[in-house]
Amino acid sequence: MEFLKASYLNTTTQLAVNSNTLSAANLFNRDPAYQYSSDGLDNDLTTTSIVVTFDSTLTVSRLALVDMNFKEFRVFYNGATANALTLTNADTTTSVYTGNADANKFFRFNTIQCTSITIEATKTFIANQEKFLGLLLPTDLILELSRVPSAQQYKPRLVPKQVVHKLSDGGTRIHNVKKKWETSIDLDYVSQTERDTIFEDLYSLDDAFNFCPFGTVTSWSGQVFESVWDGPFSFYEFSDNNANVGFSGKITLKETPS
């Protein structure tokens, strides 16, 4: 389970695409109903190019690609094709794919000093389709939990914002406006050092960050969301009522607006 910085991509001025500029903003729109799609490149012999340029050199160690149809693609940084990402959690050692079959990929790699990230996609899952990508998330690690909580201690929920209509015959109609993630994580046996220098620092950010519970390069659900830590900081309770074994507390996360 990883807590990540807010996305480094948040404005269209950072983006350069070689097709369908009008849909480029969808690359950082977390609503799954919106995607970036090429236009007129529905041929596996053509290449769709997406370039993200940062205003300054940033530290980057995580990259998420969500809801894509890229079968053959490569990712590189700082404008040089030789700068493929050296992946540490991968089905391949570098970010070059010729036969990808996953719609969602979460890349971990050693921290790089980065001014730009480029994605070049050619072939698609179904041959000769337009290339599309739902979310592009370049970021860096804040915190990785040293112990994954048990299923009883991890409670993710997809919560709808609903308009409920009660009809004259007693029936009900529901309109779902949006669905947002909420998660609670109960942790035990947290040392005082961990509490004061890790978890309290995260709580004290007082700003949004990304949460990715189980990011992988294969068979990943694509679950990553920008969130805020809601409620009090409760890591002052002794675990098992024993002052010698550490502290217990709860992290409550709620997804931010899209």
Res. 89: pLDDT tops 90 = no
Quote the pLDDT of residue 52: 98
Q: Is there a contact between 15 and 36 (Cβ–Cβ < 8 Å)?
A: no
Quote the pLDDT of residue 243: 87
Determine the Cα–Cα distance for residues 164 and 173; give it in Å rounded to an integer.
Answer: 6
Q: In a 3-state reduction of DSSP, which class is residue 197?
A: helix
Quote the pLDDT of residue 100: 96
* Residue among 129, 114, 136, 121 nearest 53 (CA): 114
Res. 33: pLDDT tops 90 = no
Determine the Cα–Cα distance for residues 258 and 58; give it in Å rounded to an integer.
Answer: 24
pLDDT class of 161 with cuts at 50, 70, 90: confident
Buried b / exposed e along 153-176 (16+ C-beta atoms within 10 A): ebeeeeeeeeeeeeeeeeeeeeee
> What are the structural domain ranges in the chain?
7-141, 151-255
Arithmetic mean of pLDDT, 78-83: 95
Arithmetic mean of pLDDT, 239-256: 93
Task: State the pairing for strand pair 105-121/48-68.
Answer: antiparallel
Res. 248: pLDDT tops 90 = yes
Quote the pLDDT of residue 123: 98
Out of 162-171, 207-216, 217-226, which region has the weakest mean confidence (pLDDT)? 162-171
Give kind and range of the element (H or E) at residue 203.
Answer: helix 200-203
Quote the pLDDT of residue 196: 94
Quote the pLDDT of residue 147: 84
Q: Which CATH class is domain 7-141?
A: mainly beta
Structure tokens at 103: 């719609």
Q: What percent of the chain has pLDDT over 70?
A: 100
Structure tokens at 76: 């590189």
Quote the pLDDT of residue 32: 83
Determine the Cα–Cα distance for residues 54 and 117; give it in Å rounded to an integer.
Answer: 9
Calculate the alpha carbon distances from 226 to 43, 181, 223, 251 in Å: 34, 9, 10, 14
Buried b / exposed e along 30-61 (16+ C-beta atoms within 10 A): beeebbbbbeebeebebbbebebeeeeebebb
- Torsion (CA) 158, 215, 47, 101 in degrees, nearest 10: -90
Q: Name the residue type at position 141.
A: L
Quote the pLDDT of residue 85: 95
What does the DSSP 8-state code read for residue 201? H
* Residue among 122, 140, 114, 119 nearest 51 (CA): 119
116-126 per-position pLDDT tens digit: 999 999 999 99
pLDDT class of 162 with cuts at 50, 70, 90: confident
Structure tokens at 194: 């961990």
Quote the pLDDT of residue 247: 95
pLDDT class of 91 with cuts at 50, 70, 90: confident
The dihedrals phi and psi of 50, each to the nearest 5 degrees, come to -125, 120
Arithmetic mean of pLDDT, 113-137: 98
Arithmetic mean of pLDDT, 163-174: 88
What average pLDDT does the chain have?
94
pTM of the model: 0.91
**Residues paired with 53 in a beta bridge:** 116
